[in-house]
Amino acid sequence: MKSYIYFIALLVFGLSTTTIEAQSANDIFRAAGSPHNPKVSVAFNKYYTAEGLATISKKIADAYPELVKRKSIGKSTQGRDIWMLAITDYSVGDADRKPAFYVDGNIHSNEIQGGEICTYTAWYLTESFKDVDYVKQMLKDRIFYIVPTINPDARNNYMKEGNTAHSPRAGLIALDDDSDGLFDEDGYDDLDNDGSITRMRRKNPNGNMIVDPLDPRKMIQIGPDDVVTAQRYENLGGEGIDNDGDGSINEDVPGYYDPNRDWGWKWQPDYIQRGAYKYPFSAPENRAVADFVLTRPNIAGAQSFHNSGGMILRGPGAEEDKETYNRVDARIYDAIGNKGAELLPGYRYMVVYKDLYSVFGGELDWFYGSRGVYTFTNEIFTGFAYYKNKNGDRDQAYKAEKDLLLGDGFTNWKPYNHPTYGEIEIGGFRKNVGRATPGFLLEEEAHRNMVFTFYHAHHMPLLSVDNITEKSIGNGLKEITAIIKNDRLMPTHASQDLKYKIERPDYIFLSGATVLAGMIVDNDDFNITTEQKNNPSKIKVDNIPGNSIIKVRWIVKGGGKVTVTVDSAKGGLISKKQS
C-alpha cells in the first residue's frame, strides 16, 4: 500500500523515479596523487561538525573493514564519542605489534583544520591502498591511529554559535564554570545572528578612524598631521552588549581554559601558566587520549594539527625544559622538520620556546617527555597560500578576500540600533576567514600535511634480521652471529626514553639450538663483546639506533637451522630462519 501511495505521489507531483548512479570509472581520467574513483566520496573543500566527521569515519571503516578498525576512545565533557580509526593492512602481521603513528587534531575549538586533515589522511590511506605501492608498503609495516577531533564539543560550539575567528581562542571544552547550564554566555554577542562576531563602529566627530577611501571595507587610523574632511568613526570593538548590567561591554569573557595546557609534562597551575585547569589531565578529552596512548607502547611517532601561521613546531615548550631535547634527538627532529618545510611551502620549522612563547603542559612535550615519542605540532595555514609569494598581512587578507573569495568572507557594514551605543554599524571579516583555510585551498593543505606525516611515519624504526652466519668452534659447538638492521632514521628508543627507561629494552632471541652463551658484539675486528650471563638465549639490547646495526652472537650446542627473533616495542616483532 505504501509503495502504491508513493507511486501516485510521484505521478501527481511530476517527480522522476530516475536513480542517480555513481560516477562510472570510464568517465574519469585519473589525476596523479589523488584517489580517482573512491568508494567513499568526500568533499574536502568544506568543514564538518563533530557529527559530520563521525559519519565520514564510519563510512570509511564500513567500506574498508580489512584496513580499518573504528572505536571510541572516550567521551567528551558533553558526552560525545571521541572516535579513533586504527588503519593498517590487517592481513599482514600482528597489528598491535607494528610501529604506530598517532595523529590528532582540533584540540582548540577554532583550530578546525586538523579534523579535515586527519580525515583526509584516513581516506587517502584506504582509497589509495590498492593502487599506490608506497601506501601499500606503509600499511604493511605500520599502523596509524587517527583521531580527527579530540575536542568535539568545542568544535561544534565554534561552528554553530556566534564566534570570531579567534574565539573561543583557548579551545573552551564546554566547561560550565558557574553551573548555570550555559557557557560562553557573557563574552561577545552575535548581534545580527549571522553566526560570526564581527566589529562595531560608530560615527563620531572626534573619532580617530575613517573609512579607507580606496576600500570601503577597511577602517584606517587618522595620523596626527592628517587633515580630515571625511566622516570620522570610533572603533567600539567586537559585537557585544552589557550582559550583566555592570556598565561594561565584552569584558565578561567565558571561563578561560586551554586544553593544551592540561598535559602531564612540566604542568604549571593557572597563576603561572594561563589557561591551566585543575590538574594534569583534568579534562576527560585529554584523559581519553592519554589512556589510549599509555596502552600503546608501539607508538613511535605522533602529529597534532592546530592553526594557524604556517609552522612546524617541536618542543621544548619552555626554556626550563630545554635539556630534555638533547642533540641526538634534535638532529632527528631537524631532519624531519626541515623536510616538512620543503613539503609545505610557506611553513617554517620552529622550536616552541625559542621562536614563539613558553608553553607548559603541552601535548607535544607530553608525548616526547613522558613517552619518548617524536612529535610535531603543525600550525595550519599561512597567507603564503593565497598568492604563493609571501606570508600574509592584514592588507593581503583584504586583497585575497576580494580577489580569491570574491567577497564571500566579509560582512559589509550595516546599521544596528545598539541598546547602549545607539545607532552604530556592524561589519568585518567572518569567523571562517583568517585562521581557517579557504575551501578552495583546503584539500591541498590536507594533502601536503598528510605527506609530511607519512615522511615522519616512514622514518619510524624498520627492523630486519639482515644476516645469520654460523661458525664451527670445535667440540660440537657453533658460533651463531646475527646482524639486526634498522633501515630508518629513528631509533627504537629516543634519548628521552633511554634516560628515564620509559619503555622496556629490545630483545633478540635465538631458538632451534641449546644456547650456552650470548653476547653483544661491540667490535668484531678486535673481538670485543659484552656477555649476557643470565638467560643468554634472550639478549637484552637497550637501543637499536637509526640507520645502523646491532650485532649479536651465541655459542650453541646441537640443533639444526636456528631462528632469530627481534622483539621491540616500537620497532615491531620480526623473525628470520637461518638459510
Which residues belong to the active site? 379
Rounded CA separation 563/513 (Å): 9
391 phi and psi angles, rounded to 5 deg: -75, 150
Q: Pull the grid cell for residue 80.
A: 560525545
CA distances for 279 relative to 266, 267, 397, 502, 577, angstroms = 11, 8, 39, 22, 51
DSSP assignment, residue 366? I
Are the C-beta atoms of 441 and 380 separated by less than 8 Å? no
Q: Could you give the 3-state DSSP secondary structure of residue 113?
A: helix
- 277: nearest Cα among 77, 50, 73: 77
Write out the DSSP string of 515-556: EEEEEEEEETTTTEEEEE-SSTTEEEES---TTEEEEEEEEE
- 365: nearest Cα among 308, 373, 357: 373
CA distances for 540 relative to 149, 466, 480, 531, 568, angstroms = 39, 18, 17, 10, 10
Residues 6+ apart with CB under 8 A from 193: 162
Q: Could you give the 3-state DSSP secondary structure of residue 328?
A: helix
63 CB-contact burial (10 Å; exposed 0-12 / middle 13-18 / buried 19+) = middle
Are the C-beta atoms of 105 and 303 separated by less than 8 Å? no
Rounded CA separation 542/528 (Å): 18
SS3 content of the chain, % helix, strand, coil (to 5): 25, 25, 45
